[in-house]
Every structure is written in C-alpha cells, then in structure tokens.
C-alpha cells in the first residue's frame, strides 16, 4: 500500500512481453500516479511499468531486481522480504 492507502499490484505470472524488445518481461507493476493538469488540479490515475532483463539492465534499482530473479528464478512468499528491501 502507498502512503495514501492505495494498492500497488505486482503481476508475476505471465506479465506481457516488453514493448521495446518483445522479450519476456519479469514483472509488471501497476501503481497509483497523479499529475497536475493545465488548471493545476490533481488528476489521479494509475501507471504500469514492466521489468525487462534486457532493456532495464544497467538501471538502478532494476539491476537489483534482475539479479534477484536471476538467482531465485521467481518472487514468492519465501523471498518477498528481500524484494521489499530493494525499494528506493
């Protein structure tokens, strides 16, 4: 959950392919995101981000997540605490 109580969704089971390289992605994150329109009013919404082992290599904190998937092969209840420690 975010500070405002909104949920962050992680899709680990068959996330869509990477739109840049069309390779399999490791995960899809869906999270709350808002911006200000031309009038200055907040516009709430959601964003999605894919983690691709090819396209995101060399980016922080993507490298730590890619390493976690490389070592463990998957994210589950056994290593979710390690995943949580990778937040920035």
Instruction: Flag whether 29 is in a domain.
Output: yes
Instruction: Flag whether 79 is in a domain.
Output: yes
Instruction: Flag whether 17 is in a domain.
Output: yes
Instruction: Flag whether 1 is in a domain.
Output: no
Q: Tens-digit pLDDT profile for the chain (88 aa)? A: 445 567 888 887 888 999 999 999 888 889 999 999 999 999 999 999 898 888 888 877 787 777 777 766 666 666 566 655 555 4
Alpha helix segments (H runs only) across 1-88: 62-72, 80-85
| pLDDT given for residue 21 in this prediction | 95
Instruction: Flag whether 30 is in a domain.
Output: yes
**CA gap 76, 12 in Å, rounded:** 9
Instruction: Flag whether 2 is in a domain.
Output: no
Work out how many domains the chain is built from and give that number.
1
Q: In which domain, by residue range, is 45 found?
A: 9-85
Instruction: Flag whether 4 is in a domain.
Output: no
């Amino acid at each position: 959950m975010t500070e405002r109580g909104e949920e962050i969704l992680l899709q680990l089971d068959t996330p869509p392919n990477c739109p840049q390289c069309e390779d399999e992605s490791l995960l899809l994150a869906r999270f709350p995101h808002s911006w200000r329109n031309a009038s200055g009013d907040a516009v709430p919404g959601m964003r999605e981000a894919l983690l691709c082992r090819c396209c995101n290599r060399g980016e922080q904190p993507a490298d730590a997540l890619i390493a976690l998937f490389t070592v463990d092969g998957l994210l589950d209840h056994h290593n979710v605490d390690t995943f949580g420690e990778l937040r920035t």
